[in-house]
C-alpha cells in the first residue's frame, strides 16, 4: 500500500529565507507527483505537477524535484514571503490506479515578517 510521508510536519522561518519541504513515498510505481497549497479551512490549490519521466518543474519561486527510484520529492521555495504561509501537501498518482491521488499529511509553513 502506498504511503506518503512529509517532513517536517511544521516549519517556521523568517521572511526571505530559502526553504525545502520533503516528501517521500513507499512505492515508486507512480504516474506523477503533485504539490498543493492549502490555506486554513480552504481548498487545495495545485502548485506543480511532475510527471514520472521528469526530474523537476519550476514555477516562479517554486521548484519541485522528483527522484522516483528513491521515492523522494522536494519542494524548494526561494525568498520566502509571509504570503507563503500555508500547508503544503504532496500527492502521488498510482500507476495501478491512475485516477487516485494518495496524499501526505502536509507541512505547515509559517513565514514570519
Partner 1 sequence: EPEVTQTPSHQVTQMGQEVILRCVPISNHLYFYWYRQILGQKVEFLVSFYNNEISEKSEIFDDQFSVERPDGSNFTLKIRSTKLEDSAMYFCASSLEQAGDTEAFFGQGTRLTVV
Binding mask 67-96 vs partner 1 (x if CB under 8 A, - otherwise)? ----------------------x-x-xxx-
The answer to whether 33 contacts partner 1 (rule: CB under 8 A) is: no
CA-CA distance, 48 to 65, in Å (whole number)? 10
CB atoms within 10 A of CB 12: 11
| Calpha distance 45→57 (Å, rounded) | 16
Joined grid coordinates for residue 66: 522528483
Task: For residue 82, give the C-alpha cell.
Answer: 509571509
Of residues 4 and 77, the one with the C-beta less far from partner 1: 4
Question: Interface with partner 1 by CB under 8 A: which range of 16-24, 54-62, 67-75, 104-112?
Answer: 104-112
Q: What is the contact surface with partner 1 in residues (CB under 8 A)?
A: 31-32, 34, 36, 41-46, 49, 89, 91, 93-95, 97-106
Amino acid at each position: 500500500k502506498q504511503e506518503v510521508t512529509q517532513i517536517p510536519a511544521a516549519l517556521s522561518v523568517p521572511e526571505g529565507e530559502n526553504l525545502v519541504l520533503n516528501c517521500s513515498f513507499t512505492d515508486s510505481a507512480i504516474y506523477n507527483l503533485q504539490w498543493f497549497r492549502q490555506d486554513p479551512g480552504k481548498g487545495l490549490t495545485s502548485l506543480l505537477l511532475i510527471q514520472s519521466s521528469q526530474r523537476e518543474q519550476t514555477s516562479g519561486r517554486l521548484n519541485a524535484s522528483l527522484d522516483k527510484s528513491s521515492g523522494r520529492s522536494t519542494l524548494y521555495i526561494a525568498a520566502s514571503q509571509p504570503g507563503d504561509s500555508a500547508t503544503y501537501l504532496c500527492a502521488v498518482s498510482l500507476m495501478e490506479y491512475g485516477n487516485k491521488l494518495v496524499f501526505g499529511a502536509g507541512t505547515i509553513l509559517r513565514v514570519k515578517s
